[in-house]
Amino acid sequence: MTSSQTAFLQARGLTREFRGFYAVKDLDLDIRAGQVHALIGPNGAGKTTVFNLLTRVLDCTEGQIRFDGEDITRMATHRVARLGLVRSFQISSVFPALSVLENIRVALQRPNGLGMTWWRSRSALDRLDERAHALLLDVQLGDFAHSRAGDLPYGRKRALEIATTLALEPRMLLLDEPMAGMGTEDVVHVTELVRRVARSRTVLMVEHNLKAVAELSDRITVLARGEKLAEGTYDEIRADAEVRRAYLGGTAHA
């Protein structure tokens, strides 16, 4: 069991080298259960690489990753997802030619044992609809169930992606820039959505929108050139001189 003292997701000495260039170097990360943890830093700081390492999209050159006590350092990507560590993508990632409802159904199929079912018609999936509609209502996509996912405007695609992710009932969510490319109104929406989602889950997010980070995060890690620059609450980070120089100084609007 995880207590609030031990880390839910833990990385030790996480390193990723691309032909002599260290995208991430000797990073220790502890994300506690139930918290919203934000990862910030200037462009090229290695935030997305950290994400890809933690979700096993990339292999780390060195280091160790443990999720809920289990060593996942060399685990296959899809297995990590099955453990309940589920990510969203920086560029909204939906199945564009499928309908909004079908997008959610696809996420629900595997946990309901309907992934490999080739001998039944698709009406076997109708029993997933109740849950799927509930998820869509949750992200205010109820009226769009039969639209083609690829035709949705950007903010709604984002909402669909989050609903799809939630369909897996993940124990921990990794959100890669959930507010990227959104208008102010959408940011408010998604902030509210993440807040609701985070009530019962652990969340790690990369985000540039510092207002959203300030509102949502319990703890923040600042990355610069692949290394940890600082860690703490928003106020602690704001007060840190080194962080101001490296990051907040130029772009702070909070």
Segment interacting with other proteins (CB under 8 A) among 4-12, 143-151, 186-194, 212-220: 143-151
∠ CA 238-239-240, rounded to 5°: 95
**Three-class SS state of 118:** coil
Name the burial class of residue 79, with classes exposed (0-12), middle (13-18) and buried (19+) by CB atoms within 10 angstroms of its CB.
exposed
115 counts as binding other proteins under rule CB under 8 A: yes
**Among 43, 97, 130, 250, which residue sits at the site for other proteins (rule: CB under 8 A)?**
97
**Among 116, 130, 185, 241, which residue sits at the site for other proteins (rule: CB under 8 A)?**
116
76 counts as binding other proteins under rule CB under 8 A: yes
Segment interacting with other proteins (CB under 8 A) among 102-110, 204-212, 221-229, 239-247: 102-110
122 counts as binding other proteins under rule CB under 8 A: yes
Rg of the chain in Å (alpha carbons): 19
109 counts as binding other proteins under rule CB under 8 A: yes
Q: Determine the distance from the C-alpha atom of residue 121 to the mean position of all C-alpha atoms in its chain, rounded to a whole number.
A: 33
Which helix (DSSP H) or strand (DSSP E) does residue 15 occupy?
Answer: strand 7-18
> DSSP assignment of 35-95, as one string?
-EEEEE-STTSSHHHHHHHHTTSS--SEEEEEETTEE-TT--HHHHHHHTEEE--SS----
Pick the closer one to other proteins by CB: 55 or 221.
Answer: 55
Q: d(Cα 146, Cα 153) in Å, to the nearest integer? A: 14
How near is the Cβ of 157 to other proteins at its closest, in Å? Answer: 12
**Three-class SS state of 160:** helix
What is the phi/psi pair of residue 251, to 5°?
-120, 0
| Nearest partner of 178 among 209, 220, 150, judged by Cα | 209
98 counts as binding other proteins under rule CB under 8 A: yes
Pick the closer one to other proteins by CB: 55 or 224.
Answer: 55
Pick the closer one to other proteins by CB: 15 or 112.
Answer: 112
How near is the Cβ of 125 to other proteins at its closest, in Å? Answer: 6
Whether the Cβ atoms of residue 103 and residue 149 lie closer than 8 Å to each other: yes
Give, as ranges, the residues between 14 and 73 that touch other proteins (CB under 8 A). Answer: 55, 57
180 counts as binding other proteins under rule CB under 8 A: no
**Among 86, 179, 210, 216, which residue sits at the site for other proteins (rule: CB under 8 A)?**
86
77 counts as binding other proteins under rule CB under 8 A: yes
> DSSP assignment of 191-235, as one string?
HHHHHHHHTTSEEEEE-S-HHHHHHH-SEEEEEETTEEEEEE-HH
**Among 145, 168, 180, 188, which residue sits at the site for other proteins (rule: CB under 8 A)?**
168
146 counts as binding other proteins under rule CB under 8 A: no
Q: What residue ranges bind other proteins (CB under 8 A)? A: 55, 57, 76-79, 81-82, 86-87, 89, 93-98, 102, 105-107, 109-111, 114-122, 124-125, 148, 150-151, 164, 168
